[in-house]
A and B are shown apart, each in its own frame.
Chain A
Amino acid sequence: MEQKRVMGRRDFLKTTTTGLGGFAYLSANLTRPPDAPDKFEGTRVLGRTGIRMPIVSMGVMNTDNPQLVRAALDAGYVFLDTAQGYQRGTNESMLGEILKDRPRDSFFIATKASLPKDQTTGGYGPDATEEAYTKKIDTSLKSLGLDYIDIYHHHGTWTRGATLHGPILSALQKAKQAGKIRWIGVSTHRNEPEVVEAATDSKVYDVALAAYNFRQQHAAEVQKAIARAAGAGLGIVGMKSMGGNRGGAYASTQIDARACIKWVLQDPSVATVICGFTTFDQMTLDLAILKDLTLTASEREQLRKASLAAGLYCQGCGACVGQCRQVLPIPDLMRAHMYLYGYRNLVAAQDLVLSLALPNTVCGDCGACPVACTNRWNVSERVRDVIRLRDVPTSFFA
């Protein structure tokens, strides 16, 4: 199969000194006449990094096939996204083997790591030290076999507090000063607006990698947060464009990956989207987006139908937190409701409900429920539904 090289990788990596000027360039291209797709170059500038890169990039997390990565780099992909946690570090070491034979200025790489967080509060404990995070950075450098990493993301935060955790920011800043990393990033898969806002306010982060897709009930909030971040000079990288795995069993509606990627890229704040392809055909099809970002009529219809189906599950936006007069853990209860009615998993639903240490009387004397769900769900009704599992003996499910 002949691979069409869309453009040279080194061409993408030419830096510009006019980062914000890049957005003007993008805007001009996004409003180009539809009959002139060939003039679209398919690159954008990643915020204050000044790096011009293709609007589609490779997320390596789903593959252990080095030939796929090599083929992607040969075909025109430049930006590779991995993480220390992917395949317990073997994803980084696989990339190290591939990249050692390539000129350092022919690719751009981001990796990421976190430290253990409290899964309930999302906050860090006393063990989340600067020293511990510095070890993470050094481990990534060793696994990748590189002298420096282009972007190091503080991985998977969902609260302002964790995003601004001092010891980790300090470790990242010192690594940047030492030349171990070029830019500091943050990645977030939920409660993205709060994280991106915190990253913008921090004056430390250069890049934000955020879940962003048409299925998010809070997509407008994500859009607003990343627009502010981009305006402040942060480079914005989109991920989870399909809102789940690539058309897999858990995507509520089957949809073409390219429609989802294009949807994200209609937002000029987004410099590039991480695509988690696992086949050579997907690699080629995703790369074709560089040539034309226009959503076809068919793709628009797929997005419309999938959007309608997206309201079935709690999006984890966190907007309800703190609204309940009884201070009930509403996101957890909505998750239990999803286990029960979405997945028909009574065991998981009951386990979760019992673990929440709820008061004896729930939703009893409140009158009108003040909780406003972004899904427009009747939260109190769902809470009352699911807490009845407390009354079922656990032995029924054993």
Chain B
Amino acid sequence: MKTRSTFVAVLLAFVLWGGPSLAAGATPFAFPAMDGWTLAGRLQVFSPDMLYEYIDGGADLYLKYDFEELQVIEYRKEKMSVSAEVYRHRDADHAFGIYSQERVPSADFLALGAQGYYENAVCNFIQGGYYVKLSSENTGSDDREILLAFARRISQELPAQTALPAILSAFPSDGKKPNSEKFIAKDFLGYAFFHSGFIADYDRSGQKYQLFVISGDSPDDARAMLGQYLKQIKQEMNLAEGTYELKDPYQGEMALFWKGKYIWGTMKVTDPGLRSAYLKQFEGILIP
């Protein structure tokens, strides 16, 4: 008991001193008041170990994206209701990652936060390390405007980080399916040694394939990842920066390029000329 009292006192001292109870860089969030709307029920807060209580098995994926905290509240106005969920992740890349897992490329995209969309009584957006999910009931024909008003107001309470991850600009535009980019936080391409990466879908004259970028922590990290990959697919060779044309037993034709801390590549692109062109376009952006 005494130990715990001391612990609380020390924690409070940290708070007063300015020490973080949130992750470094995270900004405390509080739901705003909305004119004419009242709060129904209590604020619910879920930490990583309790997220199962709210989204059941879906929690696993959020945990992969370094989920830190979820706050949930419901607003009501007569028969209308809006449920607001604010997920905080470790950083903007991870918030984009989980958002990218759930967005539908055909949705009605909006200039909201870094990106958002409206679809069938749902409005979701990301901003900084936050992923905001709004849903409505009984809002009738005004549904879109109501959800957008909530989204814009909540956006004002979040950190003013309104850009998508910069690395997305490295993806060549020729053939890229809009809003198909994803950030995979762990086990990229199904291999544990590729710790994370960005990937996008392409469709060119009916040929479907994917392009990707892995950003290592350093050139040595990228080299180590490439070495492990070549060992995994049993095509070990001397490592040097440059192009690798490979056959992945699970994923087919692979073309990789390693330079500095980056590995980028194409998957299932059968035209050698197109592979080469894509790899060069990546290089032009990633290695200026």
Contact = CB atoms under 8 A, between A and B. Distances in A.
Contacts of A355: 42-44
Interface string A338-371: 1111111111100110011100000000000000
A346 B104 CA distance: 36
Contacts of A352: 45
Contacts of A356: 42
A385 B28 contact: no
Interface in B156-193: 182, 184, 186-187, 189-192
B22 interface: yes
Interface string B110-127: 000000000000000000
Interface in B64-86: 64, 66, 69, 72
A90 B102 contact: yes
A88 B104 contact: yes
Contacts of A83: 56-58
B184 A340 contact: no
Nearest to B11: A346
B60 A61 contact: yes
A335 B50 contact: yes
B53 A388 contact: no
A74 to B, nearest CB: 9
Interface string B86-129: 00000000000000011110000000000000000000000000
Interface residues of B, number: 55
B1 interface: yes
A62 interface: yes
A190 interface: yes
Given A278-B187, A348-B69, A355-B42, A2 B21 contact: no
Given A279-B191, A398-B28, A85 B55 contact: yes
Interface string A83-120: 10111111000000000000000000000001000011
A54 interface: no
A124 interface: no
Interface string B246-257: 000111000000
Contacts of B137: 127
A86 B64 contact: no
A61 B50 contact: no
Contact of B60 (A245, A348, A397): A245
Given A67-B190, A90-B104, A392-B12, A119 B60 contact: no
A189 B250 contact: no
Nearest to B29: A347
B47 interface: yes
Contacts of A36: none
A209 to B, nearest CB: 9
Interface string A300-328: 00000000000001001000000000000
Interface in A150-205: 155-156, 187, 189-190
A119 B53 contact: yes
Nearest to A71: B250
Interface in A26-66: 59, 61-65
B1 A245 contact: no
A202 B60 CA distance: 30
B1 A190 contact: no
Contacts of B103: 88
Contacts of A239: 57
A244 B47 contact: no
A57 to B, nearest CB: 13
A156 B55 CA distance: 8
B42 A189 contact: no
A250 B58 CA distance: 15
B192 A279 contact: yes
A346 B187 contact: no
Nearest to A68: B190
A341 B4 contact: yes
Contact of B101 (A87, A343, A344): A87
B61 A88 contact: no
B34 interface: no
B182 to A, nearest CB: 7
A311 to B, nearest CB: 14
A282 B53 CA distance: 27
A61 B57 contact: yes
A190 B53 contact: yes
B49 interface: yes
B61 A279 contact: no
Nearest to A209: B57
B1 A381 contact: yes
B232 to A, nearest CB: 7
Contact of A248 (B5, B56, B64): B64
Most A-side CB within 10 Å, residue of B7, B8, B190: B190
Given A245-B63, A278-B186, A396 B43 contact: no
B250 A346 contact: no
Given A61-B61, A346-B15, A348-B45, A189 B52 contact: yes
Contacts of A392: 12
Contacts of A89: 104
A315 to B, nearest CB: 10
A65 B102 contact: no
A239 B61 CA distance: 15
B190 A65 contact: yes
A281 interface: yes
Nearest to B50: A335
A238 interface: no
Contacts of A68: 190, 250
10 contacts: A65-B189, A68-B190, A119-B44, A189-B56, A248-B64, A249-B63, A338-B50, A346-B12, A385-B4, A392-B12
Given A64-B182, A385-B4, A396-B16, 17 more contacts: A2-B249, A68-B190, A83-B58, A85-B56, A86-B57, A87-B102, A114-B56, A189-B53, A244-B63, A250-B63, A313-B49, A343-B49, A348-B45, A351-B45, A385-B5, A392-B12, A397-B28
- Lowest 5 CB-CB distances: which A-B pairs, in order? A156-B56, A355-B42, A88-B102, A278-B187, A1-B249
